[in-house]
Amino acid sequence: MILLESLNLVKSFGGVAAIDRLSLTVEKGMILGIIGPNGSGKTTFFNLVTGIFTPDSGKVLFHGKDVTGFRPHRIAKLGIGRTFQVPAPFSKMTVLENVMVSTFIHARTMKMAKEQAKKILGLVRLEEKADQQVLNVTLEDRKRLELARALGTQPSLLLLDEVMAGLTPAEVKASIELIRSLRTKDLTIIVVEHIMDVILSLCDRLAVLDYGSKIAEDIPDRVVNNPEVIKAYLGEHYRARN
Amino acid sequence: MTFQTEGARINHTPVIRRFTLPGLLLLFFLSLLLLPLFLSPLWIRIATEVLMWAGLAQSWNVIGGYTGYLSFGHGAFFGVGAYATGILMVHLGWPFGIGLFFSGVLSAFLALLIGYPTLRLRGAYFAIATWAFGELLRQVATILDITGGAYGLQLPAFLNLPFFYYIMLGVTGLTYLTIYLLLERARFGYRLLAIREHEEAAEMVGVDTVSIKIQAFALSAFFPGIIGGINAYWVTYIHPDSVLRADITDFMVVMAFLGGIGSLWGPFLGAVVVQLVQRVLWLVWGEGTFYLVIIGAAICSVVLFIPNGLIGVLEGQIFKPKEAIKELKKKVKW
Amino acid sequence: MELLFQTVIDGLLIGGLIIVVGIGFSLCFGVMHIVDFAVGEWVMLGAYLGYLLVAYFGYDPMVFLPLIFLIFCGLGWLIYPLIYRAVSGKRHNPVIMGLVFTFGLSIIAKGGALSIWGHHIKSITTWLSGKSIMLGIGTVPALRFSGFVFGILVTIIFMIFLYKTRAGIIIRATAQDRDTASLMGVDVRRTGAFVYSLYAGITGMSGVLIGSLFSIHAAMGAKYTTLAFFVVVLAGMGYVPGVIIAALVLGLLQSFVGVYVGGRYTLAALFIVMYGVLLITPKGILRRGI
């Protein structure tokens, strides 16, 4: 079953196309990886799906429904959650309160919101930091908080924008485990990442963007051996390494 | 117990403080209730004025402090309230209470009108639009017949000082109570703060930022409307240069900032300090215009040196040792 | 017909002067993201300084324009570090702090002027005062015309500076993307100081002309702050070339409302237009704002 579909999306800034006729389909329950050079339009794609930008043309379908041009809060209510590449916490609130703002979306009372938020913090292993001010937590914890806040809206589709950038190898490993554990048949995930090991160990399918267009999409093993992908993104040394 | 870093305000204090705080507040308001029995008329007047400004500064704080959108024309809502109450009482013969309520509603409605196009944009647009709105209203009041033009409006005289003290106390108390319940205790407040801290992220987790901001602005205009109405009945004679003068906004801003924006007690503290300082200055220099320089300098200095206001300074002093200990503990643990 | 012609000319002439007030203000926002609430107060202080210089030396105020420009550049240069401090560092919400800080500055300037000169209205007389020029079917006050010429000249020089010189390119680069510019070796802080002092200089200088055209008093700033705001909203926040069209539109609007409706309704008319623009096309009438 198709969960998310983008049809011929176009978005340009000052005459330069950041996304150029991009069509992608995401099946329910899969983990899709998106890779591509810097500026290839990965984050812009997320911004188009979540309604932060409105596409110049093209459509976004979610559960078969046209959601193009919806404001982000409506998209969130429909069940798309996302993390920001640079963590964007509510700095002067505690970790728990950060997540509560997102659990408000479905919780009927403050108490319920708090309980849900606590449960999610447990899921991402942040429960010990629940009452700390965000200003005082580490980058890794902030990245986890991003994830927790995205999960707080109980999404059926989760967009992860470089959640591992800047983490140590050990932290990356823990994060991979964490994302794997989130995977259920009700949660579909799209991962944007530069670390190839992460992509290869997580994703069922892999799409490659270059200049805002999709140049390849297949199972990861086949994509990384695609000559065009190697030329545009991975580089010759990658082929040599494998 | 968590240390509240600069200006943080949502209470996650331990249970004991949660119960003692409302208790102390109750005591505080009880003592305010009894105050007129012990004060001379002059001091009742001063106390009424302090209460008035405390309410106004807190109202400004809702949009300026909690939401992070600066309204530089907030004095206009005070003026709208004063004129609405005045017109309803003089021209339509409405009773004071109903006129008062209507003034608040009218203010909130005007805020809705101003907020609708501007709160979708960056904060600078909002600041500009509200400022221009304030300038506009002053001119409009001078032009219209119903407001009495530049001559103003004479309300039925009601010379009863304690009455005004108590009603001001009631309305200001209500302002603080509403803001406490809505902003410090309910999801509305969390959402406002989320908007101030990171608007895009707030939107991304399902907060309808535009609608919430407009609601906050309407709320922050409602109380000044009512307070303006009380003020009109109290001073009995209003004109554009009194209830719509530009420095009403200036005072709200300086009080909220000096006390500490985004905190429940900051604006109250700011109102008390500024009012008292102003009284002293009047005694020393007489009524002049130099107080404007002092207000401006105070605003600038607060921004430069104590961006979290006096409340921030106080909290810093009280909590600093604890924070240091906590920091130390953290280091040892890791 | 003659009235219509006169109204159009008047509007354009006023517009020419409004450009000067709007252009630095817009640049300030574009480069540093600072909305300077004290813009009208710079005009007011410029007017007073012009008045003082004329009263003391007795020469024509136009002679002092370069001097006043330099003095206000210096003032801007001195004040900028404070603004920089307000909007940078560990400040929680820099935009708010910047807004409030300049709001405070404007109150200081207004209060200071009121305390020194009181509510008295002053004016500057120049050799052009009272003279007029025949232009087509109508006459034009020479002073207004020179104000317009001044506005256009300043704008042209400013545009050449911004688009043709090295410093101008640096400024525009900074306006586009501060982070990238600083990576390219642009000292963003110094660029900011430069822009702010340039803006203060131009605005102060325009104050002299405004002061000789209209009257000078301590509370006059509010009017020009409003005008600068409206220009920038109409032009699109931070879009400098839009200022020219927006200022002329506003000048015309002001003059038409003044003649056909009544002078006291101008602010209301301007406000309604601004409200409409914000409602329909918040990026300005040219849709180029940020």
CB < 8 Å to C104, chain B: 295-300, 303
Distance separating the N- and C-terminal Cα atoms of chain A: 34
State percent of chain C over pLDDT 70: 96
Q: What token pair was written down for A191?
A: 């991962």
Hey, are the CB atoms on A92 and B193 less than 8 Å from each other?
yes
Hey, are the CB atoms on A102 and B3 less than 8 Å from each other?
no
Where along chain A do its domains lie?
Answer: 1-79+157-242, 81-154
Interatomic CA distance for residues C47 and C202, integer angstroms: 12
- B224-238 pLDDT, tens per residue? 999 999 999 999 999
Q: What is the mean pLDDT of residues C137-162?
A: 83
Question: Exposed, middle or buried by CB within 10 Å (0-12, 13-18, 19+), for C228?
Answer: buried
Instruction: Tell whether B150 is within 8 A of chain C (Cβ).
Output: no
Task: Say if CB C225 and CB C106 are below 8 A apart.
Answer: yes
**Nearest-CA residue of chain A relative to B12?**
A131
CB < 8 Å to C101, chain B: 299-300, 303-304
Task: Say if CB C191 and CB C174 are below 8 A apart.
Answer: yes
Task: Say if CB A24 and CB A218 are below 8 A apart.
Answer: no
Split into its structural domains, chain C has a count of 1
Per-residue pLDDT, C74: 94
The answer to whether residue C288 sits within a structural domain is no
B partners (3+ CB pairs within 8 A) are A, C
Question: Which residues, in sequence order, are CB contacts of A5 under 8 Å at separation 6+?
Answer: A23, A24, A25, A26, A60, A61, A62, A64
Instruction: Tell whether A128 is within 8 A of chain B (Cβ).
Output: no
- B256-312 pLDDT, tens per residue? 999 998 888 899 999 999 999 888 888 887 777 888 898 899 999 888 888 888 888
CB < 8 Å to A136, chain B: 5
pLDDT band of residue B4 (cuts 50, 70, 90) is very low
CB < 8 Å to C278, chain B: 117-118, 121, 125, 129
Per-residue pLDDT, C132: 77
**Nearest-CA residue of chain C relative to B296?**
C104
Hey, are the CB atoms on C115 and B120 less than 8 Å from each other?
no
- Cα distances from A170 to residues A166, A174, B72, C279, in angstroms, run 12, 6, 51, 51
The answer to whether residue C23 sits within a structural domain is yes
pTM: 0.89
CA A170 to chain centre: 21
The answer to whether residue C287 sits within a structural domain is no
Per-residue pLDDT, B19: 53
Query: Which of 3.40.50.300, 3.40.1390.40, 3.40.50.970, 3.40.1190.20 would CATH assign to domain A1-79+157-242?
Result: 3.40.50.300
Q: Angle formed by the axes of helices C221-235 and C242-260, to 10°?
A: 120
**Nearest-CA residue of chain C relative to B64?**
C96
The residue range of the domain holding C122 is 2-280
Work out the minimum CA distance from A56 to partner chain B, whole angstroms.
Answer: 20
C75 pLDDT above the threshold of 90: yes
Work out the minimum CA distance from C134 to partner chain B, whole angstroms.
Answer: 35
CB < 8 Å to B263, chain A: none
Span of A184-193, B97-106, C80-89 with lowest mean pLDDT? C80-89
Question: Which residues, in sequence order, are CB contacts of C226 under 8 Å at separation 6+?
Answer: B131, B132, B135, C40, C267, C270
Collect contacts of C157-166 with beta carbons under 8 A, ≥24 apart.
Answer: C158/C23, C158/C202, C159/C241, C162/C27, C162/C240
Count Cα neighbours of B142 within 13 Å in the Cβ-side half-sphere. 17
The answer to whether residue C289 sits within a structural domain is no
CB < 8 Å to B202, chain A: 90, 101
Neighbours of B2 (CB within 10 A): 18
Instruction: Tell whether C158 is within 8 A of chain B (Cβ).
Output: no
**Nearest-CA residue of chain A relative to B198?**
A90
Partner residue facing C115 (CB), from B293, B299, B304: B293
**Nearest-CA residue of chain B relative to C102?**
B300
